[in-house]
Amino acid sequence: MAYGRRRRATDYHYLVIGAGTAGSVLAARLSENPSKRVLLLEAGPADGPEAMADPTAFLSLMGSNVDWADHTVAQADSDGAVHPWPRGKVLGGSSGINGSIHLRGHRSSYDRWETLGAEGWNYHTLLPFLKRTENAPGRDRAVRGCTGPMVIEQHPEPNLLSRAWFEAALEAGHLMSSDGNGEVTEGVSWTDSNIVNGSRLSAADAYLRPVLDRPNLTVITNAHVSKLVFEGMRCRGAEYSCAGLDKYVEVGDEVVLAAGTIGSAQLLMLSGIGRAEHLSAHGIEVRLDAPDVGRNLHDHPMCWITYSGGDPLPWPNGIPHILLRSSASRDPDLQIGFSPVVFGPDGR
């Protein structure tokens, strides 16, 4: 394969693959050290359509040029349904195309990581880092951050439809939570959003764009990484395509894979790291038989129940949700939300 100019290990210390939510943070933090040169590769464009800035227009971004537009295989537990799987392909990744909801997991979810063997990973140890990311004015400083780059605006005055749904949840017996990301999160609360002055605040907006002028940070967009490059068992760089050219980059210190749940596993497998039988069946040379790569993915299904209204819908200010338990013996595992936005009869 013919390559464009070969980037040597002396050009960069770190290569970050993927400029999504994680990659934007990693590139910004690593480049804080002016003596370290960082290269960030993103498969998507630097910017997307104008609708990206409008958090209420996120549905229009699905299937656009800033979405990988994946679909699941037929799901046996839902009558063979094939579900769309939107995934951001732009600076900021999925934080650039999602609904801008800012909602932590329940503390029991973090604590369960440690019970499964991830020593030191629990709600108590992660809380300082959760707080470090956010700037949530007026919230409980014991559990919420006030100096981070992700701005959480105060809830706007909810419209009448959202307020009616919130009050109906209380009438149905759900307790009220003053902060869905606070100390007590079960019950009905108003949903936090990463929105500033009516516009989306993606991870790239918060972390990456403010530091793009750093001389030791290079960001290349529309750069699709196809394979990791190894020297023995050490990853030294990557092959990628950009502007119609096949390119190669090698770095001195580390390659950081931040291509998301799907992209990271896929790139590992394309590079020969995965279940050997599966890789061999696709003609991929096995570098490491790692059968768990790309397996055991869990995601939360979402079911839309749509209603038609006789009057024009109000502006969707204030989105309430309920966090509850499917049974008394379980940790909180269900959420019911309300979105006064326009959906088609098929839920889109």
DSSP code per residue over 55-114: GGGGGGGTTSTTB--EEPPPBGGGTTB--EE--B-STTGGGGTS--B--PPPHHHHHHHH
In the chain, % of residues over pLDDT 90: 74
86 and 4: one domain? Answer: yes
Same domain? 271 vs 345: no
Number of domains in the chain: 3
Q: Which of 258, 273, 299 is the last residue of a domain?
A: 299
For residue 163, count other CB atoms closer than 10 A to its CB: 14
Instruction: Give yes or no for residue 204 having a pLDDT over 90.
Output: yes
Q: What is the pLDDT of residues 126-184, one digit of tens each?
A: 999 999 999 999 999 999 999 999 999 877 788 888 999 999 999 999 999 999 999 99
223 and 291 together in one domain: yes
Average pLDDT over residues 70-90: 89
Q: Cα–Cα distance between 295 and 288 in angstroms, integer?
A: 15
Distance CA 273, CA 264 (A): 11
Predicted TM-score (pTM) of the model is: 0.91
* Residues 203 and 98 occupy one common structural domain: yes
Which CATH number is 119's domain given?
A: 1.10.1220.110
Residues 2, 88, single domain; the answer is yes
**Half-sphere exposure (Cβ direction) of 150: Cα atoms closer than 13 Å:** 23
Under 8 Å between Cβ of 14 and 254: yes
Do 171 and 62 have their domain in common?
A: no
Q: What is the mean pLDDT of residues 67-74?
A: 93
* Cβ atoms within 10 Å, residue 186: 16
pLDDT 10s digits, 274-322: 999 999 999 999 999 999 999 988 887 788 888 877 777 776 678 899 9
Distances in Å between the Cα of 329 and the Cα atoms of 73, 122, 165, 333 are 33, 21, 27, 11
Q: How many other β-carbons are positioned within 10 Å of the β-carbon of residue 55?
A: 19
Burial zone of 120 (CB within 10 Å; 0-12 exposed, 13-18 middle, 19+ buried): exposed
Asked whether residue 98 falls in the same domain as residue 203, the answer is yes
Q: Are residues 87 and 123 in the same domain?
A: no
Q: What is the pLDDT of residue 2?
A: 46
Looking at the structure, do residues 29 and 98 belong to the same domain, yes or no? yes
- Token reading at 236: 């030294």
Neighbours of 335 (CB within 10 A): 15
Rounded average pLDDT over 316-334: 91
Residue 9's pLDDT band (cuts 50, 70, 90): low
- 211 lies in the same domain as 93: yes
Half-sphere exposure in the Cβ direction for 93 (13 Å, CA): 20
pLDDT score at 309: 73
pLDDT over threshold 50, residue 69: yes
Domain span including residue 306: 157-192+302-348
Asked whether residue 98 falls in the same domain as residue 214, the answer is: yes
pLDDT band at residue 346, thresholds of 50, 70 and 90?
Answer: low
Q: How far apart are the first and last CA of the chain?
A: 43
CA-CA distance, 213 to 202, in Å (whole number)? 18
pLDDT digits (tens, 9 = 90+) for 233-275: 899 999 999 999 999 999 999 999 999 999 999 999 999 999 9
Q: Are residues 137 and 91 in the same domain?
A: no
